[in-house]
Amino acid sequence: MVNFIALSNTLGSGYDIDVGTRTAEANMLTLRDCIDFSDLREEEILAIAECEHIPLLTALEEGESMVHTPRGRKRIAVMIKSQAEICERTGNTVHAQHLRRVHDAFINRFGKMVARP
């Protein structure tokens, strides 16, 4: 059995990830494996993808690279906060609140390690 990931992009809510299993002869890394190996949480990766308008796997790679430096962590925090502000201005207050919670959780985890301006 090999896990698989199905992505669907629903309007206004980013990506939904559907995890399942199927039989396969060869083992491979799944998107879920990559997320689990990352130092970022799934919501943070989704926020990077949304902000940068890039595919989820590319956001995972970019975010994983950035999270290991103070400057990169600052950039991630700014991305998430900026995306929340954009959502608020465009009337998507529910998603803006979600992104603020993601930002707050990110700052709580990396706050002392986020570069100061």
27 vs 3, higher pLDDT:
27
Mean predicted confidence (pLDDT) in 78-89: 96
- pLDDT exceeds 70 at position 77: yes
For position 27, what pLDDT does the model report? 78
For position 6, what pLDDT does the model report? 46
- pLDDT exceeds 90 at position 17: no
What 8-state DSSP symbol labels residue 115?
P
d(CA 80, CA 103) in angstroms, rounded, equals: 6
Handedness of CA 56, 104, 87, 67 (dihedral sign): negative
For position 22, what pLDDT does the model report? 54
54 vs 3, higher pLDDT:
54
